[in-house]
Structure 1
């Protein structure tokens, strides 16, 4: 597939002959990708240029589409029919006479989602991105991105729309499942590794949604007002890391307005920051229907409208050129940027020849990723891991999404059509059989209105072991009504937890939820929306085949009143303020996520970075060197980690920094390392704080310098195993 000398079979014989005869100077591989792109654009007619500015989907009225609530109420057949209408045209038409291939685009970032084709091709349904972040392990992120990149290439697609690196500002945001975390550094580290792995397969990775698309509510209309230092230190930071550390090829602009201007028309974001300051060399694609104009969007820095030609059509572009609101050089610039990336990854030479995905091989990797990202939230009395031979009958109880089939969560355009799935009962039965257990596994599916809850109670009472499965499957297009699980699942758990003392709760979430029943539960495992290998992963964890090692990537609040928007509608869902559209004010400033809880003195239910294990660890020999620095030289933090338990496991060492600047939160994450240890084994973990790193670990945004600056003063270095559990401290003086 990657043979650079193979001609594209989608081109006819005369065109291929032109290739052979050297009539296409842009096919000269001795030239740089940009030189080739410039030669191609110079050879194009105006009509050909315009045809390449946009996707080929037939223009539709997006406001005539069903609401997310209506989509959720559809039958699977009705939903698939609607999605087929949208997904079949995810491409830009090729131009045969110029050797331009059909440009095929597929969605991500939790696997290969809606792609160009009818129907959209099946792929490996990976664990949700929030779960990947819980792994706190860049190597897992590389494995994750490698699967996505490999499958995108195998399916003949050119672009994977992901990773998504917006932040979890609220637990109710509809797309938290496909974003990483509330922390910008963790999100950036994991996003960089995913993007780099995708692009090793000569697939364009696309960071999204740029920027502050942290909610789905009124996403086509809402305006986000956010201070510059907050934008820089939190919400832009993971995008900056994608550009500088991953050399990402594309960025997707967001739907929402930012400071009154739509993101797709925001020159300050698209040009001044992204290109002039960060040095971004790729191209910018609109989110689907986020483009709101022709001249304004292209001039601001948007290069490619998707999925149709609602704005960048021939009539509009020619009119804009004629009235000089748009320049032909701007059109050329947009095309050169995209073609440069296509040439960079050899996409003009690559034949369209879809292959077969290694479903079982990739499923095995997905199983490994999933088992290392689950978070053990509670384990009273060491109830877990379970003895596979101690129970004759096991019943799994929960609502349909969580017990009937693998929890392939996340609705909307990123949803993956899985190649196969391992349901909970079958997966647990297979794992138990492999462990020599003869236990019988059954299930009770609880109705959404809890009408058969008594039946479930009876089954729980009679079983030797009860596994309660509950959770949340969020969706693009709509935020959740509250951070509580839907369909009275809290009541379901509250009542069932009283029935049998041998009961474990398995959560399958796409975002943190309220747990008012937590005091009744002896053991709680957050498994996330696992995708393909759900049944195997959960059983591996419960019965100790794998020791859970995930950490909370976004804080779990104990009460809804503890969240940043409680009593502050201007923070969410926003207020009109006479504008005619919602205005959302990030008035909490830098105090978001664990920073909010710490700055307000609020104790969370489960703090950022928290996660239990089936073994125990001890930290010792902590050191920070040097103790005095100039704000430019790297600082080395060391600690020895010892597995003091009886089974192998992994601990995540976390380093936080207290910045001596007024208005800064108590702590910010600046480094972490996941350490795998056998019983009684020790390892010296070394974490470097480099002031010049792209995450600006020691810097704050300076309005006068219009840059990140390290301020002099006494910094506090914290080390521990969560944002709240940092027993080691040291003072670092910046002179």
Structure 2
């Protein structure tokens, strides 16, 4: 037998087809699944909950065997899979190899900068390749439907266009290292509560215009190699068995040519899943084992051509990226170089939420700086990301170390003290006394979300709101630094002079926060997911059927997306609800002026629309502003505005720069279109479209009308 599939000069799909044709049935079945010994994830989850363990402790039990077994006689390598998307997480090996712990994905989205997203993905792709892994399970592009979802930290934002743009850059960069990127979780895996059982009921136009849109962009713009199907049901059928999603939408409508992997233990069947379009079960063979697959073939509920199809899809991507030819030779990550990039990314994604009286940046010549907060935020780097995506860091920089390093670099010798407040606030008086006596106070607080559990509400845990409230007003130079993986409520906001959201930063936490506090870097991030004033202002308040779902008689929760297109800023604007901090908001240590805005649409709303503008830095220091373009669409049920373009502009003090943003009807985000039930496609409806230009969803002082006949 001539092993033509080992000839790298042949097309990838031909090689895959030849390989599958040469395999025995037993070999084929062995390649349909991961090699972990089958375990009962549901029993483990229940056991963890009963023992008071979190998902990190559970994950430690399933940290090995993230691979598919090699078949040496056919030249099939051990197929190594590592988790993402916030860095190289749990990979194949015991223990998982250390990697650069990056800021959480929600923070990356706050950068509103595709170049930052590419740099982020470049680190992940490079380290995945260096560690000898073939697949990185990420990026995640589900939306922040609620502010309390447990995996929002892994996803980008509440807006599908922003999520899609950033996700495309991350995936493209990962795959530039001949690593398979995997979009997840397909689809509408927007909450952790009852994720293994819940059914999502959602209208088609809502599904297409919001929740599927980032995936469509990844397929078409990034040519992503793999998609991970979700745990939940969609319209009554589990995502792994959902032919409409996995075949009709993903392959027929979008032209996807990669393969579909199950989320870990999300596969629910053999014949139904493979026939629907799921191609690979991970991490074990609970369903795609020899007994079950052989039986399905025997009773004709499964065809051998379907098995072959699944294997050809995955092998094609492996050949596409040269993974059969690549020897397993793990290298050493350049921790210093990648850490420096992570530090730059981290500083550019921080959002200055409030800065009354220009409290920030702090004067580095201060004599005595006291840092106050609970241990998770002041004693160690805030890595964030509980659950299977957690990264084992190569190193970390604590808040104190970072502050002392930056002060030293600035030639200042002020002292830095840390007062750790007990989780039960039992020593809060000690912290208050320290605040009164210090030259300046930095209160660090936040939230570290985790896979497997949504938050009970949008408050920070351990009564941190009380801690902050009692510390404010004791010292006029007090700054609140938030380290969050989700938006949080801030009942104390009126009493806080300055609030800086830095997110869960990862390894370089200490340096990033110090750079921002002392003005070494000017914050330029923008809010990627709205902060409500209270949870009563959200679409699900008083609507259990919207979240967390209700049992309608089937025995499992049904979640009805009856809010339609109105989530996040779309909900706030449609109902005239003022957010605490709205989508796209973010201040700076300098000021900007947006002028000379022009909207050029010579052919109306059925052809590309060009928006030009000038941004001037009118303040004393260099900084960056994000110009944002929104569109009001003349169709029933549409929100007042939706984001259709943005551009980040970096300017020196006094500098002016002209920019351009183009809305092309042919773009994969369908900026000028809505989903048509009549045609089963995106359509530009006739009427008057309003183009809004500004610096946040709530601040768009420039507008123009464009007509589609």
Please state if 1:126 is matched with 2:102. Answer: yes
Q: CA deviation at 1:734?
A: 1.2
Q: Distance in 1 between matches of 2:281 and 2:392?
A: 26
Please state if 1:678 is matched with 2:652. Answer: yes
Deviations 1:128-183 (A, max 9, x none): 00000000000000000000000000000000000000000001000000100000
Instruction: Give the equivalent residue in structure 1 for 2:115.
Output: 139
Q: CA deviation at 1:85?
A: 3.1
Instruction: Give the equivalent residue in structure 2 for 1:337.
Output: 313
* Residues 68 and 478, structure 1, Cα contact 8 Å, conserved in 2: no
Q: CA deviation at 1:626?
A: 2.2
Q: How does 1:66-215 map to 2 (within 5 A)?
A: 66-67=45-46, 70=49, 73-74=52-53, 82-215=58-191
* Residues 56 and 388, structure 2, Cα contact 8 Å, conserved in 1: no
Instruction: Give the equivalent residue in structure 1 for 2:329.
Output: 353
Deviations 1:447-484 (A, max 9, x none): 11111111111111221111000000000000000000
Instruction: Give the equivalent residue in structure 1 for 2:585.
Output: 610
Instruction: Give the equivalent residue in structure 2 for 1:362.
Output: 338
Q: Distance in 1 between matches of 2:235 and 2:547?
A: 16
Instruction: Give the equivalent residue in structure 2 for 1:622.
Output: 597
Any stretches of 5+ residues in structure 2 without a counterpart? Answer: none
Change in 2 beyond 3 A, CA 1:515/1:573? same
Instruction: Give the equivalent residue in structure 2 for 1:48.
Output: 27
Q: Distance in 2 between matches of 1:346 and 1:683?
A: 43
Q: How does 1:164-313 map to 2 (within 5 A)?
A: 164-313=140-289
Instruction: Give the equivalent residue in structure 2 for 1:727.
Output: 701
* Residues 397 and 468, structure 1, Cα contact 8 Å, conserved in 2: yes
Instruction: Give the equivalent residue in structure 1 for 2:619.
Output: 645
* Residues 379 and 522, structure 1, Cα contact 8 Å, conserved in 2: yes
Instruction: Give the equivalent residue in structure 2 for 1:65.
Output: 44
Instruction: Give the equivalent residue in structure 1 for 2:687.
Output: 713
* Residues 605 and 672, structure 2, Cα contact 8 Å, conserved in 1: no
Deviations 1:97-120 (A, max 9, x none): 100000000000000000000000
Q: Distance in 2 between matches of 1:72 and 1:346?
A: 45
Please state if 1:512 is matched with 2:491. Answer: no
Deviates more, 1:82-91 or 1:199-208: 82-91
Of the candidates 550, 571, 578, which is equivalent to residue 525 of structure 2? 550
Q: CA deviation at 1:73?
A: 4.9
* Residues 227 and 589, structure 1, Cα contact 8 Å, conserved in 2: yes
Q: Distance in 2 between matches of 1:366 and 1:702?
A: 43
Instruction: Give the equivalent residue in structure 2 for 1:38.
Output: 17
Q: Distance in 2 between matches of 1:462 and 1:242?
A: 53
Q: Distance in 1 between matches of 2:70 and 2:539?
A: 48
Q: CA deviation at 1:67?
A: 4.8
Q: Distance in 1 between matches of 2:179 and 2:425?
A: 46
Please state if 1:479 is matched with 2:454. Answer: yes
Deviations 1:74-94 (A, max 9, x none): 59xx956x5343121100000
Of the candidates 411, 414, 420, which is equivalent to residue 395 of structure 2? 420
Q: Distance in 2 between matches of 1:59 and 1:491?
A: 46
Q: Distance in 2 between matches of 1:87 and 1:116?
A: 8
Q: Distance in 2 between matches of 1:208 and 1:72?
A: 30
Q: Distance in 1 between matches of 2:435 and 2:286?
A: 56
Q: Secondary structure at the match of 2:481?
A: strand
* Residues 642 and 677, structure 1, Cα contact 8 Å, conserved in 2: yes
Change in 2 beyond 3 A, CA 1:187/1:44? same
RMSD, aligned α-carbons:
1.3
Q: Secondary structure at the match of 1:65?
A: helix
* Residues 209 and 254, structure 1, Cα contact 8 Å, conserved in 2: yes
Q: Secondary structure at the match of 2:550?
A: coil
Q: Secondary structure at the match of 1:31?
A: coil
Q: How many residues align?
A: 709
Instruction: Give the equivalent residue in structure 1 for 2:3.
Output: 24
Runs of 4+ in 1 over 6 A off after TM superposition: none
Please state if 1:388 is matched with 2:367. Answer: no
Q: Distance in 1 between matches of 2:434 and 2:303?
A: 71
Change in 2 beyond 3 A, CA 1:83/1:662? closer
Change in 2 beyond 3 A, CA 1:437/1:630? closer
Q: Distance in 2 between matches of 1:191 and 1:635?
A: 24
Instruction: Give the equivalent residue in structure 2 for 1:5.
Output: none
* Residues 386 and 544, structure 1, Cα contact 8 Å, conserved in 2: yes
Q: Distance in 1 between matches of 2:46 and 2:511?
A: 35
Change in 2 beyond 3 A, CA 1:641/1:71? farther
Please state if 1:521 is matched with 2:500. Answer: no
Q: CA deviation at 1:442?
A: 1.1
Instruction: Give the equivalent residue in structure 2 for 1:9.
Output: none
Deviates more, 1:139-148 or 1:492-501: 492-501
